[in-house]
Amino acid sequence: MRISEPATPEFRANHISANGQIMMRRHDDLPNRADRAAYRFNDRIEAVEETTNGSSVTFSSGTNETFDAVIVAEGVGSSTRELVFNGANDPRWMDMTIAYFTIPRSNDDDRMWRWFNAPGKRSVSLRPDQRGTARAMLSLSKEAEGEQDWDVERQKAFLNERFADAGWETPRILAAMDSTDDFYFDVLRQVRLPRWSSGHVVLTGDAAWCATPLAGIGTTLAVTGAYVLAQELIRNAGVEAAFQAYEKQMRPMVENGQGVPKIAPRLMHPKSRLGINLLHGVLGVASTDIVRNLRARLFSGPSKEVDLTRYD
Ligand SMILES: Cc1cc2nc3c(=O)[nH]c(=O)nc-3n(C[C@H](O)[C@H](O)[C@H](O)COP(=O)(O)OP(=O)(O)OC[C@H]3O[C@@H](n4cnc5c(N)ncnc54)[C@H](O)[C@@H]3O)c2cc1C
């Protein structure tokens, strides 16, 4: 099955709710969990050491265990990646800071995703979700200055200051930001590593290759990567051979996904009102049927997706 194919009726019945949400199963609902996996909570990896028998992992609880394979899927800011692949990540900074959170829906919100550009390379957007609330996004086109490492209070103060005069629905969004319980803030950067494995440790998902939300393919890559890694572990005699085969399959798709031009977010966030008017004019033309069809014909190339039928 290719990942872009529609879900099978069986998958749909087990994993997709009536309103189209993918359902997550609680770990304690999983069958035979004692035979298959052990879950540890409130613990984290403190050290990883390569031995002849596998990877020796020390947890913050003080426990030490040796594993045949350590699969690191900790997202863009992975701390275990920094332990094992220290200094190897050469991030591609996208000059874009975003904040994303849920706020109460108001009577004025409609069913469309509304996007507002403010001068000063800022944008604000609001879109309804399927839970009766609205998802707000604040974006700022600027070079990174370490904001991703600030604490939440400082990040919110920064947004309050930078968006205070933006206009439109921004005052309402900033007011609701203080009490939101899912505040997400990041300075967008791609993770770029020459290799995704070292001995018995392998990276996957955003920890290995974060493409950033600008690419719109991070979830597809994470799910495909997990599947390909599992299949290669089944098919290869040793974990190191499996890791190499996994990397060989995934690299072209990842590099293609990371290919988003850095200028794109800048063009979407003009500095002046004149620039914003120009952007809206260009987007108006680009969204006409003629231009969309032409673009699809000119720019569609051969797919770089992993052909998952090789694992059937
Ligand atoms: C605002 C936004 C919009 C996006 N839109 C899209 C989109 O439209 N389409 C799309 O395909 N993708 C999109 N993405 C990207 C997508 O969300 C990611 O690519 C995807 O979630 C990556 O999955 P992952 O499992 O690798 O990492 P994550 O989803 O980041 O999961 C990593 C997990 O590891 C945990 N963790 C971190 N460190 C440790 C540690 N040391 N020990 C234990 N656990 C740890 C984290 O808490 C987290 O639960 C978007 C991302 C954002 C932020």
Helix, strand or coil for residue 301? coil
pLDDT tens digits along 264-309: 888 899 999 999 999 899 888 888 887 777 766 666 666 789 999 9
- Calculate mean pLDDT across residues 157-185: 96
Closest residue by Cα to atom 2, ligand 1, is 213
Mean pLDDT of all residues in 133-148 = 95
Q: Which CATH class is domain 93-189?
A: alpha beta
Give the ligand 1 atom nearest the CA of 218. 19
DSSP symbol at 7: P
Query: Candidates 48, 96, 125, 219: which one to mutate for ligand 1, based on the most atoms within 8 Å of Cβ?
Result: 219
Are residues 260 and 212 in contact, defined by beta-carbon separation less than 8 angstroms?
yes
Can you say whether the dihedral through the CA atoms of 56, 85, 70, 183 is positive or negative?
Answer: positive
- CA 206 – ligand 1 centroid, Å: 6
Map residue 43 onto helix, strand or coil. coil
pTM confidence score: 0.88
Q: Which has the minimum average pLDDT: 13-22, 60-69, 187-196?
A: 13-22
Residues lining ligand 1, judged by CB closer than 6 Å? 44, 73-75, 78-80, 100, 184, 205-207, 213, 216-220, 222
Give residues with Cβ within 8 angstroms of 81, minimum separation 6. Answer: 72, 74, 89, 191, 203, 207, 208
C-alpha dist (Å) from residue 103 to 40, 125, 160? 32, 12, 16
Which of 34, 85, 311 has the alpha carbon at shortest distance from 207? Answer: 85
Provide the percentage of residues in the chain whose pLDDT is more than 90: 72
Residue 299's pLDDT is 61
**Ligand 1, atom 27: nearest CA belongs to which residue?**
75
Output the DSSP codes for 272-285: SHHHHHHHHHHHHH
Q: For the CA atoms of the chain, what is the radius of gyration?
A: 22
Q: Specify the DSSP element, H or E, that contains 100.
A: strand 92-104
pLDDT of residue 2: 38
Give the pLDDT score at 25: 65
Per the model's pLDDT, the better-predicted residue between 304 and 28 turns out to be 304
> How much distance in Å is there from the Cα of 205 to the middle of ligand 1?
8
Q: How far apart are the first and last CA of the chain?
A: 8
